[in-house]
Amino acid sequence: MGSSGKTGAIPSATSPPMCGENNMAQELDQVVTKLFTQYSTAICAYIYALIKDWQLAQELTQETYLKLYRTRSRLPEVENQRAWVYRIAHNLTINEVKRRRRFTWLPCRFTDDSLHTNSTESTDQINERADLEETLKLLPEPYRSPLLLYSSHGLSVREVADTLNLSESAVKVRLHRARKMFRELYRREDQL
Amino acid sequence: MNQHEKIEPLLAIYNDLEINELQFVNQHLQTCSACTETLNTYQKMDRVLNDHAAAMETIASNLLLLRAPNRSPKIRSFKQRILLGLKNISARFK
């Protein structure tokens, strides 16, 4: 915004900086749109894995886009854009969960979304998915997020650390513990 | 700390190891069947979780209907939002 926020001002030949700023703003808008297009489904799936509510996951995905847009001026400083998008989504989700816990007297819309299925899935695949989700639900949140980001979404240890605002060594410890817990909890041991 | 205790945390991040760590782990794996089994388990775990995420992404893309924005969202100032609210209210009473 700043000086370039004056709408309707026609940039003259004597004002090249404003033109540069506009180009920069346009570039950032394009980067935000590209990031959102690239990661929206993965982000929605990640949020769903944390909260088990598709409707809320969709809303929070849209919120992630808005937050990404609002903070787009910081994008040039961002080292890893994928981790940045995941970080915004993760923080929004955790805040929403906390907010809902605080206002417990309000009707909570967390629903069992097991009815949402991929039409190409067989019954066995659906059951397997249910078992897996049950296991993930049993993992404490500090262990669930690193495992989801690393194993499900393919982020590196560095990216997981950036997303969760942790040190790399903390992520390594959590991943180790998360894997041990998951191994013990997952019912379909024959698959592991 | 025995060898297993040193190796186990590294197995959890096997795909992300530095070259020297990877050499250290691989050397141990050649002689240790327990750690090899743990690594196989973790790799299967990654596969199961990754497949699950892919299935979730398919559902998510159907739900989101991939509303990829063509333009940037309009951010309104507080004053603009108040004026818009008043306009909507007055429109209701017309």
Instruction: Render pLDDT for A54-86 as a digit per residue (tens, 0 to 9).
Output: 889 999 999 999 999 999 888 888 889 999 999
B33–chain A nearest CA distance, Å: 16
Specify the higher pLDDT residue, B54 or B77.
B54
**What fold, for A16-109?**
Rna Polymerase Sigma Factor; Chain: A (1.10.1740)
Question: In A89-137, which ranges are E strands?
Answer: none
How confident is residue A12, by pLDDT bands cut at 50, 70 and 90? very low
Q: CA of B41, closest CA in chain A: separation in Å?
A: 5
Q: Say yes or no to pLDDT of A89 above 90.
A: yes
This prediction has a pTM of: 0.73
Q: Do A179 and B66 touch (CB under 8 A)?
A: no
Contact A33, A50 (CB under 8 A): no
Q: Does the distance separating the beta carbons of B66 and A157 come in below 8 Å? A: no
Contact across the interface for B59 and A45, Cβ inside 8 Å: yes
A121-192: CATH number: 1.10.10.10
- The ipTM, to two decimals, is 0.72
* Phi, psi for B32 (deg, rounded to 5): -125, 110
Q: From CA A123, how far away is CA A133, in angstroms rounded?
A: 15
Q: Give all strands (DSSP E) within B1-94, no chain letters.
A: none
Instruction: Give how far A45 is from chain B: nearest CA, Å.
Output: 5
Boundaries of every domain in chain A: 16-109, 121-192
Q: What integer pLDDT is reported at residue A25 of this predicted model?
A: 77
Name the 3-class secondary structure at A151: helix
- Residues in B closer than 8 angstroms to A29, CB to CB, are 72
Of A77-91, B19-33, B34-48, B77-91, where does mean pLDDT reach its minimum? B77-91
Nearest CB among A41, A66, A176 relative to B57 is that of A41
Categorize the per-residue pLDDT at A109 as very low, low, confident or very high, splitting at 50, 70 and 90.
very low
